[in-house]
Amino acid sequence: MAISRILLSDLKAGRCSNKVEMRLLRSWKARNVKKGGELMWIDLLFVDEKSTLIHGTINSHRLKKYGDQFSEGSLHSMSGFDVTRSPNNFKISDFPLAIRFNDHTAFELLTDSVNPIPDEMFRFRTHQQLLALANTGTHLPDLIGELASIRSTFNDNLQGNQRVMVTLQMEGDLSICLSLFDGLGYDFHKKFTNFGGEPRVVVATCVNPKIVGGRLFANGTSGTRIYFDKETSAGLSYYEKLATDGSGSEKNPTKMLHAQKVETLTVSELNEYVITGEPQIIDFLCTGKLTGVQAEKGWCYIGCARCAKKLLRGESSFTCPACANPNAVASLRYRVELSISDGTEEAVFVAFDEEMSKITKFSASAVGELMGGSFDDQQASDVPTVITDLVGNTYTFQLKLTDFNFSPKHQTFTISRIFTDRREAPIPVFDGEGGDDGSITNSQGDISLGSTSAEVVNNNEKETSPLGVPALGELQQVDKCTTKDRKLEMSEPTAKKARSD
């Protein structure tokens, strides 16, 4: 008896005994960071003749049977697979179901299909829709826009995370920053260099929308692929539209910044640069010893849990002007002024929450809880030893200069990243060169969009997450009742004050 053919939209939960003809659009590997980058499964994105997208997964112990049988763009007739509910978070398809390969899954490689199946399919979202998705972790949409500028932190003398920031102009003159880390950023550099010119249109798949500091970002994930100009039909249409209406970067080519390495300056050169240089937004690297903490400036502030901006205190609640939220959720965040010297001169660098959490190994909220009392008490307290114990250490700082740094009011430099070592950066490895999937790559391995386990960690921003999504660094969790860490012990005056409260 012949097996009948159905569409993806006809699927029901359970074992599928019918045939489905699909095209594989993209696939990527999922690795477990807790087990040395052990390969767990392969994620696949399929489409059928009705342009229905569906997420598929092949587990690691079935890769010998199925893993080498699929290539991106190939056509297949499949049956005998399991149909399950799609993940609730970080969806790469709007379809409510997903497919899982089992030992009885049968497939046949096709040279042609009964009805035409699209060669590509994207889930583009408008700027407003991306804002609505930001920080929700529900969907990983695709992105298309006109390339406006590129900024890069790649430097051969630094070990650690590297990053490429690609500003894209979307419809309506709205912009978004595409953030690519490590292997994915390195891959972008390679593609950009070999393209033979500056591309005008960029397509990025499976990005994670984030709002950071009130600005919209699209962070790359392990499922992210980058396409330029006419490499896709969608990119070609967008390119022709820009050419037809005469809009975009060709009217103002000075917006285009080449991807360049961040230059290294001494503290003396840095101080001289802001006096003699033209006002601009630029990044520099500077290595120096932390010689002291500006205690009179405090060590924290009360920030918005969503956007990190400073909150305004009301009678019974906090207001976030950036989010226009009169009942914002408050969170204690680092803001520390550090005295830095490199033997040439001294300067004051300001470090904020993410980088201070990275070098102290504790969040500001965890330290505040140990101190006890209200937010106001914690702000007024002495600088914790977890910070003062850093004095004497040498770090490499990436500093972000803005127009303010070139004004007479300038007194400090803002730290965007802190590196604890200065060694030659390892060259990322890619899938075709014996490495992983070439997206978010580092020594920790990569993540998967099909995972439901917290064991899988996104390497884009180093945050443990259910699926392959970028975020901020993992912090040691502190139990204020049981911790024995010397760095978190309170001074006697502070302890007395906490007990009296």
pLDDT in tens, 444-478: 333 334 433 333 333 333 333 333 333 333 333 33
Q: How confident is the model at residue 107 (pLDDT cuts 50, 70, 90)?
A: confident
How far is Cα 332 from Cα 494, in angstroms, rounded to an integer?
18
Same fold, 127-255 and 263-298+332-423+483-500: yes
Nearest by Cα to 160 from 469, 395, 393: 395
Contacts of 199 (CB under 8 A, 6+ apart): 147, 192, 228, 229
* DSSP per-residue string spanning 406-463: GSTT---EEEEEEES---PPPPP--GGGTSS-SSS-STT----SS---TT-EETTTTE
Look up residue 213 and give its DSSP letter. T
In sequence order, what are the beta bridge partners of 379?
A: none
How far is Cα 36 from Cα 332, in angstroms, rounded to an integer?
34
Q: Is the pLDDT of residue 286 over 80?
A: yes
Q: Which CATH architecture has domain 5-110?
A: Beta Barrel (2.40)
pLDDT in tens, 474-483: 333 333 333 3
How far is Cα 321 from Cα 304, in angstroms, rounded to an integer?
10
- Break the chain into its structural domains and give their ranges: 5-110, 127-255, 263-298+332-423+483-500
Q: How confident is the model at residue 154 (pLDDT cuts 50, 70, 90)?
A: low
Q: 136, 142 in Cβ contact below 8 A? A: no
pLDDT in tens, 187-216: 888 898 888 888 999 999 999 999 887 789
pLDDT in tens, 332-364: 999 999 999 999 999 999 999 989 999 999 999
Instruction: Just give the CATH number of 127-255.
Output: 2.40.50.140
Neighbours of 259 (CB within 10 A): 17
Q: For 124-134, what is the mean pLDDT?
A: 94
Does domain 263-298+332-423+483-500 fall into CATH 3.40.718.10? no
How much is the pTM?
0.58
Backbone φ and ψ for 384, nearest 5 degrees, come out as -60, 155
Instruction: Kindly state the percentage of the chain with pLDDT values over 90.
Output: 42
Q: 163, 179 in Cβ contact below 8 A? A: yes
